[in-house]
Amino acid sequence: MKKKIVLIQPHGHSATRLYFGAPLALLGISRILDKEGYEIKIITAVTHKNHLEAAVKESKDAICIGITALTGYSIYDGLLIARAVRRKYPKLPIVWGGWHPSILPVETAKDELVDIVVKGQGERTFAELVHALEKGKTLKNILGIVYKDKNGKVIENPDRPLESLDNFPPIPYHLIDVEKFISPQEYGDRSLAYYTSYGCPHRCLFCVEQIVNKRHWVGLSAEKAVDEITELKKKYNLDSIQIIDSNFFIGEERTRKFARGLIDKRVNIKWGNVNGRTRQMSQYSDETWRLMKESGLECVFIGAESGDNETLEYMQKDITIEDTLKLTKLCAKYDIKILSSFLVGFPRSSSPKACYKTVEKEIKASFKLIEKMFKIYPRIRMMFSLYLPYPSTALFKQSQELGLEIPNKFIDWNEYLIAAEDATKMKVRQKWVTKEQARRTLMTSIYIFFFLDPDSFRLVTVKIKNKLMKAFLFLGFQFFKALAIFRWKRKFFKLPLDFYAYNFLRKYSQLG
């Protein structure tokens, strides 16, 4: 008889906005166990109409349930599911993993609805954990977990070193209804999320990678990545693949082999959303760029982060605005779309008023760089965010001294981030940032830059077949686009009634 494991991906954004990305974290920790013949049930809000009810139903006779969580709403939704399962099956172990539990594993493990936390890379750790739970063995020798002993004491085991992804079986997509996770992208109508590496070796001041993976990186060989993508294309009739690595372009030789492999095998698939650093990518040779374009590269994701070199140095980003502009020119030359993130709002003084001035300088400098990037190449989707620290990260202590309130319980992290759906009444935790600056940042990111992206309308309406509905949406889109362009050209962010209206529609329509 097969042994069952139940894995759950809670709501990610809110109860009204589904996350349609494939549950890669859950598929990743299923690699070994699926090969060993375990029965694995993966439950998400996309695949199950009532995912809480399905989780409770499937938990019967399971070895354990696993819940993945990011900071934010997924914690709240995950705890709702955990409470329902605990009520029905009080002795069933509840395991948590994902970014938030990996960042704060001990605090997470203290919650009454958490028995075990898997930290960081979970493929080997979760397999060993399931084997131990199945056989009733001790957990004290399993690297990479935090757990409660029989007396309720929280025990933290040593971290597990990162292991090469070449050691694991391919991602077992057959465990989910893949068709429900195939989505349109700027570069294809049938696109699926996939990853070729894990971790990042760089030292960016704001990034939690340093906490979770200690600046280590492991990746598939280029040959194996090409083979897996080739198989995915054949099996699921894909025209594109989203590569969501934290840092794909870490080495030019691996990138060349990957691109050459796609060309030589005539895979004929577009690839995009690929994360890289502007300095490394801008130093790639023209031959490598030509190979990448020929192999199907259509979209890159970069962290430009700031329009001020002094701020970039402060971030320990190890790039300059010149690197970003050089990369923008290369993407324009080869017509490769850019997704670019910017980060503002660092607490660089002990005085909140002094910080307000610094934040304003950061915003204006970034706007200036964005204008230059748009003039070079308009096919860019900009993302603008406020810095918000986690415990153990840089500037955490200084942020507390400036008034940052940090949750001290797992459940309270549910409301730590600014919710885009609540823009009219948003709570700004960063006391060194004004409410107007926070709203301007959010407004620019999810509203203005959405409409400045020339691919947005196609992306959000590609699945709509009704011509009348599409025409109606087009008129509405053009109305908001005209307002967004007006605001951006004049840098006018007051009286944001159009932003509130758009945000209300966005919250309930699943568009944008």
What CATH number is given to the structural domain containing 14? 3.40.50.280
What is the rounded CA–CA span in Å between residue 125 and residue 431? 39
Question: Residue 115 falls within a domain, yes or no?
Answer: yes
Buried-exposed string 338-359: b where 16+ CB fall within 10 A, e elsewhere? bbbbbbbbbbbeeeeeebbebb
- Secondary structure of residue 482 in the 3-state scheme: helix
pLDDT band at 211; cut points 50, 70, 90? confident
CA separation for the pair 321, 335 (Å, rounded): 20
The answer to whether residue 259 sits within a structural domain is: no
Confidence of residue 345 (pLDDT cuts 50, 70, 90): very high
Q: Mean pLDDT for the chain?
A: 94
Q: Return the closest-CA partner of residue 163 out of 88, 213, 223, 238.
A: 213
Last residue of a domain, one of 156, 173, 199: 156
Chain-centroid distance of CA 112 in Å reads: 27
Residue of 11, 71, 19 lying closest to 415 (CA atoms): 71
Would you say residue 87 lies in a domain?
yes
Sign of CA dihedral 47, 51, 57, 62: positive
Q: Which of 156, 186, 206 is the last residue of a domain?
A: 156
User: Is the sign of the CA dihedral 241, 273, 413, 73 positive or negative?
Assistant: negative
In a domain, 349, yes or no: no
Domain residues for the domain of 505 are: 359-512
In the Cβ-directed half-sphere of 21, how many Cα atoms lie within 13 Å? 19
Number of structural domains in the chain: 2
Q: Is 417 helix (H, G, I), strand (E, B) or coil?
A: coil
- Residue closest to 284 by CA, chosen among 242, 331, 335, 321: 331
**Is 134 inside any structural domain?**
yes
Digit-coded pLDDT (tens) for 299-329:
999 999 999 999 999 999 999 999 999 999 9
Which of 106, 133, 156 is the last residue before a domain boundary? 156
9 belongs to a structural domain:
yes
How sure is the predictor about 510, in pLDDT bands with cuts at 50, 70 and 90? low
pLDDT, mean of residues 451-471: 89
Max Cα–Cα distance, the chain, nearest Å? 67
**151: its two tokens:** 């007396």
| CA distances, 140 to each of 129, 148, 152 (Å) | 10, 10, 14
Q: Name beta bridge partners: 43.
A: 8
pLDDT surpassing 60 at residue 420: no
d(CA 381, CA 379): 7
Per residue in 62-114, pLDDT (tens digit) is 999 999 999 999 999 999 999 999 999 999 999 999 999 999 999 999 999 99
Look up the pTM and report it: 0.94
Residue 482 lies in a domain: yes
* Residue 465 is assigned to a structural domain of this protein: yes
